[in-house]
């Protein structure tokens, strides 16, 4: 899982006379989070429409290793509409305001578009419910080529499972001593 907290934003709203001032009611960022169950179809869509997604200097993407882990695709409104029409897939879309936290379930593809200059703090963590998904993601990352931006195993899930199992065994040992 990941939690992403909006810590600071320079939000401007129009004043009378065309000037701007800090404040405003619109969210600072727009999030789209897709269901993990839809990943195979999302990848299929991305590969099918790869040339339609523009990258730097409005050029089409020429080379794709992994459509999600490359982090080079962005679903604009047209692509979200087309994904809904072709595959019946649509993301949860919402605004994030200053001071709000967004929790992203493990394995859920997501994208965010910042409307204003802002600073966010992101933290990856593993919840017991997501261990299976985290192991799957770790295996996907390991298949990526050396030097890929997502290659690093930031979750270190296997170490985490071994440490948790060790802690559980220690607790069992302590409770057995307390019973005697």
pLDDT level of residue 98 (50, 70, 90 thresholds): very high
Q: For residue 126, is pLDDT > 50?
A: yes
CA 173 to chain centre: 39
DSSP states along 20-37? EEE--SS-SEEEEE--GG
The pair of three-digit structure tokens given for residue 29, joined into one six-digit string: 């960022």
CA distance 22 to 24: 7
Instruction: Identify each DSSP E strand in the chain by its residue range.
Output: 2-9, 12-14, 20-22, 29-33, 92-96, 101-104, 110-114, 118-124
Q: What is the pLDDT of residues 46-84, one digit of tens each?
A: 889 988 887 767 777 677 666 777 677 889 999 999 999
Angle at 48 between CA 43 and CA 50, to 5 degrees: 85
CA distance 150 to 122: 16
Q: What are phi and psi of 128, to 5 degrees?
A: -55, -35
What's the DSSP call for residue 146?
T
pLDDT level of residue 117 (50, 70, 90 thresholds): very high
Closest by CA position to 4, among listed 115, 96, 108: 96
pTM over 0.85: no
């Amino acid at each position: 899982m990941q939690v992403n907290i909006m810590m600071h934003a320079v939000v401007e709203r129009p004043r009378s006379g065309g000037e701007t001032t800090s404040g405003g009611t619109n969210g600072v960022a727009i999030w789209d989070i897709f269901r993990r169950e839809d990943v195979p179809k999302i990848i299929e869509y991305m590969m099918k429409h790869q040339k339609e997604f523009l990258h730097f200097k409005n050029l089409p993407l020429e080379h794709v290793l992994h459509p999600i882990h490359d982090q080079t695709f962005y679903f604009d409104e047209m692509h979200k509409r087309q994904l809904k029409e072709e595959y019946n897939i649509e993301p949860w879309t919402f605004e994030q305001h200053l001071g709000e936290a967004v929790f992203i379930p493990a394995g859920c593809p997501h994208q965010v578009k910042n409307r204003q200059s802002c600073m966010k703090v992101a933290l990856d963590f593993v919840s017991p419910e997501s261990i299976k998904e985290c192991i799957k993601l770790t295996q996907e990352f390991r298949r990526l080529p050396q030097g890929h931006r997502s290659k690093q195993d930031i979750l270190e899930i296997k170490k985490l499972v071994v440490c948790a199992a060790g802690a559980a065994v220690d607790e069992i040992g302590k409770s057995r001593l307390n019973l005697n």
